[in-house]
Chains A and B, each alone.
Chain A
Amino acid sequence: MSDLGARPLPEVAPFAPSTTTSAIRVRRLRLNSTLVTGLGLLGVVVLVAIAAPLLTPYDPIEQRFTEAFLPPFSPGHILGTDNFGRDIWSRIAYSTRLDLQIGLLSVLFPFIFGGLMGIATGYLGGKLDTFLMRIVDVLMAFPFLILVIAIMSILGPGLTNLYIAVGAVGWIPYARITRGETLATRHLEYVLAARTIGCSSGRIMIRHILPNVIAPALIYVFTGMVLAILTGATLSFLGLGPQPPTPEWGAMIAEGRQFLLLAWWMTTLPGLALLFVGVALSLIGDGLAENRGG
């Protein structure tokens, strides 16, 4: 049957439903070159986020009109300045904190909620399962970005509302992944054994099934973070995210757009920062997936 709920997730295609105990595989985490590169790049990003105040002498929102539109490699401003004379490197560095936070928080709650929902519906089946899959069908009919924008339009712009809007749809992939894995696991001997000795459904789901089905969902977390950061940047590019003068890469790109010919660096550089983080997270996700596949 190929109904909407049973559609293959494009990004998750490499994860075949595993019948072996994936928890053991995760403990034997092997480092491949993709994973190491990704972790290295992410390490740089995290360092910049933590040490932002040490890496730059400038306040990211302090305006100095005498120093506006300085090109990159100007003395004192390695990446130049914007129309308000604010140091671009400071703004990019401080924005790292915000964008990493967006990536983490918009994934954390959907991961927990979606993951648990997937296990519960996959294990218990029945009406709950049908109900959940129908909700998934409906939510998946909306183009992701348009639904998020529509939710933001009601809640209003801002960071908290961004988490709510992204989270309202973001739990679906996790639910679908853990549900699929749970369906493959629920008839295995150790689950039957646990049931035979009288474990409650709750205990079986949390103690026996969860550790064995969570790995693919964890791998998807990295794809989800890339998606969340890109969505956050897109919303703030459209003026629906964190409000100025807060430094955020998407908002910086939008600000620079008016001065495209005058100061190309205002748009180009924040985009490169976004790309850097995206590539780092994607490489980690790919590396982990390779681990499971090979």
Chain B
Amino acid sequence: MGRAAYIRRRLVLMAFVLFGVTVVIFGMVRILPGDPAFLILGDRATDQKAAELREQLGLNRPFLEQYWMFVSGFAHGDMGQSLLYRQPVGDLVLTRVPITLALSGYAMGLAAVITLIFGITAAVNKGRWPDQLIRIGFLFALTTPNFWFGILLILLFGLTLHWFPVAGFGETLPQHIWYLFLPALTLALQLSAVLIRNLRGQIIQTLRSDYVRTAHAKGLSERLVLLRHVLRNALLSTVTIFGLQFGFLVGGAIVIETVFALPGTGQLLITSITARDYPVVQAITVVSAVLVILVNLIVDLSYSFLDPRVTYE
């Protein structure tokens, strides 16, 4: 299969997954026992109010028509009305997505730096104390609850040392970078824990390959071999995992936003759940899934461009 056919296949699969995602979200509230109108309004709602809400949400129409309204609405950017804020869900969600994306992107950048530094250090010192220390450090990072770690950072660097602000995200770009540093670092540490393990393994494996031995035999410096020959190849699989972790990152961002009081999608999601603002919950779930699908597509495609050895069976 050539690259074009592969990309076509990949897009068909993506379309299918998108369809599945909408079915899951649509079905979730409807397959459960009980009336969604009462689920949203609470048990003490009057029948009249419930009927109004059913009308507003289109719950009294046939199933397929409801699904069609749901999907075509999304395709047009019309995701319904928020029950709590009384404004279009689309506006509400889309103004908050950039904050979540900025936080995730920032965390990915920090994670890349951390992974490179510690991954290389661990690999070249395989089995010696720096390797052991990094391994133990990141075993802890992997099992640390991120919301707790974020609170500890606030306590230490925000409230005690006053180096960083503890809430909000500033107004100018340098302020954004400064304000978002602690939340991004919280997310980055956990992400790098997964990545460092992988990069370390890949570097060690690559160091054993023939072409590296040849490079050494040619008399190239240790540094040059590592950067030009080993790292370029070792990074390929780490980059893939990097992309696959995007969903995990977005999930983490949701929690970290509530810890650092950032007005992103996470905070909106939590408020909406407490207020039973179901259209908003639905929209955020779909938008986050779409983001993950897109990032995975980009990673898969870029991977096939980055590594000429990749074949498309």
A75 near B: Cβ within 8 Å?
A: no
What is the minimal beta-carbon distance from A7 to any residue of chain B, in angstroms?
6
Contact A268 B142 (CB under 8 A): no
- The answer to whether B194 touches A137, judged by C-beta atoms less than 8 angstroms apart, is no
Q: Which residue of B lies closest to A278 (CB)?
A: B143
Q: Is the CB of B17 within 8 A of A138?
A: yes
The smallest beta-carbon distance between B297 and chain A, in angstroms, is: 9
Check A144 for interface membership: any CB of B closer than 8 A. yes
A145 at the interface (CB under 8 A from B): yes
Distance in Å: Cβ of A212 to nearest Cβ of chain B: 26
Residue of A nearest to B10 (CB): A3
Cross-chain contact A147 with B145 (CB below 8 angstroms): no
Per the bound structure, the CA–CA distance linking A234 and B252 in Å amounts to 10
Say yes or no for B274: interface residue by CB 8 A criterion.
yes
Nearest opposing residue in chain B for A14, CB measure: B201
Q: How many residues of A contact B (CB 8 A)?
A: 55
Q: Contacts A137-B17, A230-B145 known; A279 to B139 CB distance under 8 Å?
A: yes
A242 to chain B, nearest CB (A): 16
Q: Does B298 reach chain A (CB closer than 8 Å)?
A: no
Check B140 against A275 for contact (C-beta < 8 Å).
yes
From B266, which residue of chain A is reached at the shortest CB distance? Answer: A146
Is A35 interfacial (CB-CB < 8 Å)? no
Q: Are B194 and A279 in contact (CB under 8 A)?
A: no
User: Number of residues in B with C-beta < 8 Å to the partner?
Assistant: 66
In the complex, the chain A residue whose C-beta lies closest to that of B282 is A150
CA distance A278 to B143 in the complex (A): 5
Query: Contacts of B151 on A, CB cut-off 8 Å?
Result: 253, 257, 260, 267, 271
Q: Assess the A142–B292 pair: CB atoms within 8 A.
A: yes
| A92 interfacial by beta-carbon distance below 8 Å | no
Residue B152 interfacial (CB < 8 Å): yes
Residue among A152, A153, A155 having the largest count of chain B Cβ atoms under 10 Å:
A153
**Cross-chain contact of A149 among B16, B17, B142, B273 (Cβ < 8 A):** B273
A54 and B105 CA atoms in complex are apart in Å by 49
Contact status A238-B270, CB under 8 Å: yes
Evaluate whether A237 and B255 lie within 8 angstroms (CB atoms) in the complex, with A260-B155, A278-B143, A278-B144 already known. Answer: yes
**B residues neighboring A (CB under 8 Å):** 9-10, 13, 16-18, 20-21, 23-25, 28-29, 32, 39, 139-140, 142-145, 147-149, 151-152, 154-155, 159, 194, 198, 201, 240-241, 244-245, 247-248, 250-252, 254-255, 258, 269-270, 272-274, 276, 278, 281-282, 284-285, 288-289, 292-293, 296, 300, 303-304, 310, 312-313
Q: A10-B244, A253-B147 are in contact. List 6 more A-B contacts (CB 8 A).
A: A138-B24, A143-B292, A145-B255, A150-B25, A257-B151, A275-B144
8 contacts between A and B (CB under 8 A): A138-B23, A142-B21, A149-B269, A153-B276, A154-B39, A233-B145, A274-B145, A275-B143
A contacts, CB < 8 Å to B? 1-4, 7-8, 10-11, 13, 134-135, 137-147, 149-155, 226, 230, 233-234, 237-240, 250, 253, 257, 260-261, 264, 267-268, 270-271, 274-275, 278-279, 281-283, 286
